[in-house]
Amino acid sequence: MADIISITDPSDDRLRLYRDVKDRDLTGRDGLFMAEGKVVIERLFRSPWCFCISVLTTSERLKTLDISQAGDVPVYVVEQAVMDQVAGFAIHRGYLALGRYAGPAGLGEVLKPGRARVLALSAIANTDNMGGLMRNAAAFGVDAVVLDVACCDPLYRKAIRVSVGGVFQVPHVRVPNLIEALAEQGLSPYALSPSGTVALDEVVPGMRSAFLFGAEGPGLTAEVMAACTTVRIAMHGGFDSLNVATTSGIVLYHMCR
């Protein structure tokens, strides 16, 4: 059961990792991250890949937070003014939580034999796009997300918020070479391209498939594209591409059914 602890002093050392969260991110510090918002934090409580270390909220907000699955984490309860002072800005959602990622060290640890659907990302540096991609991965039942070294951390505070906690539902791993990592797991790679050789609605994905997306603008490298089946989405009005998160939603809906 969660341990409810009232705190009145904004300088209390138990709140030190919540200080000035607007100006910094906790990623890179022993796997720590900061989550905000009721829905996001409740997803954190239920996550098989992340665990909650503590929660910061107000007495009024605590009444609506489902802490039944929070375990024995400390829940620090403060006045709204104290919360805003500690965080360095107004916390309109009224909830913050400190967590740690405890996901798999490699892709082989999470994929089971047989059917597998993987989202593979290259050079996704925009946190909004990363959050949208992680949300779609969770919504369409992707088994894992693979990131190359040029991707931003999916556990940046803004990426977590945009994902609506979806990042807590899908394990992610970082690899030095996407194509090699996918091949080691017997995954057939598909890459989106305006000049793709096959239309999306004609694709019948293999039993074990991975869907690759690159940054908006440069997209995937020629080397990566050459190793994949390239897929196009039919469009009108002279458009040949969409936002990467939007595109992933269309593709994952088709490929994960």
Q: Are 69 and 46 in contact (CB under 8 A)?
A: yes
Q: Residue 226: exposed, middle, or buried by beta-carbon count in 10 A (0-12, 13-18, 19+)?
A: exposed
Q: Domain containing 29: what range? A: 3-101
Specify whether 239 is located in the same domain as 124: yes
Specify whether 186 is located in the same domain as 148: yes
Domain count, the chain: 2
Specify whether 130 is located in the same domain as 247: yes
CA geometry: angle 174, 161, 20, nearest 5 deg:
95
Specify whether 38 is located in the same domain as 71: yes
Give SS3 for 148: coil
75, 101, 127: which is the final residue of a domain?
101
Specify whether 145 is located in the same domain as 130: yes
Specify whether 115 is located in the same domain as 202: yes
Give SS3 for 178: helix
Phi and psi dihedrals of 89, rounded to 5?
-160, 170
Specify whether 48 is located in the same domain as 62: yes
Closest CA to 43 of 95, 89, 81, 88: 95
257 residues of the chain, pLDDT tens digit each: 889 999 999 999 999 999 887 656 665 567 789 999 999 999 999 999 999 999 999 999 999 999 999 999 999 999 999 999 999 888 888 999 999 999 898 999 999 999 999 999 999 999 999 999 999 999 999 999 999 999 999 999 999 999 999 999 999 999 999 999 999 999 999 998 888 899 999 999 999 999 999 988 888 999 999 999 999 998 888 887 889 999 999 999 999 98
Specify whether 234 is located in the same domain as 136: yes
73, 101, 129: which is the final residue of a domain?
101
The CATH number linked to 81 is: 3.30.1330.30
